[in-house]
């Protein structure tokens, strides 16, 4: 079964509004989670590294004020897309490093965001 859960799986929002996506590690604590973005038929691009209790580290070219990341607990990281625009429509997926015996990187189910 899934060890990293994302919610919502699909969301449609209006331009100018904000939308929050949650990423939870289900049976382990994750001090670090990662947020990726994937455009249709393209690869995954790292957006930011989410660190529990501290500020996220954003990749070059990612607007930190637009993509707000909060990692308030060891099992939850959130990505908020602020003032969404149609070009923000994409597939967003998070990952977390598991702990033994799940010693690898697990991904959530992903969230499809459509901005209309």
DSSP element (H, E) containing 71? strand 67-73
Please answer whether residues 107 and 94 qualify as being in contact, where contact means their C-beta atoms are separated by less than 8 angstroms.
yes
Whole-number Å distance between alpha carbons of 116 and 114? 6
Candidates 19-27, 42-50, 60-68, 75-83: pick the segment binding other proteins (CB under 8 A). Answer: 42-50
Task: Please identify, using beta-carbon distances, which residue of 77 and 110 lies nearer to other proteins.
Answer: 110
User: Three-state DSSP class for 45?
Assistant: strand
Residues 61 to 100 in contact with other proteins, rule: CB under 8 A: 91, 93, 95, 97-98
Binding site for other proteins (CB under 8 A): 2, 32, 34, 41-46, 49, 91, 93, 95, 97-98, 103-110, 112
């Amino acid at each position: 079964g899934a060890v990293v859960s994302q919610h919502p799986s699909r969301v449609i929002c209006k331009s100018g509004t904000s939308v929050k996506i949650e990423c939870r590690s289900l049976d382990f604590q994750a001090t670090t989670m990662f947020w990726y973005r994937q455009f249709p038929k393209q690869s995954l691009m790292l957006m930011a590294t989410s660190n529990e209790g501290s500020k996220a580290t954003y990749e070059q070219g990612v607007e930190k004020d637009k993509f707000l990341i909060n990692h308030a607990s060891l099992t939850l990281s959130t990505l908020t897309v602020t003032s969404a625009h149609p070009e923000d429509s994409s597939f967003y997926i998070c990952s977390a490093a598991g702990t033994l015996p799940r010693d690898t990187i697990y991904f959530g189910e992903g969230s499809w965001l459509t901005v209309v």
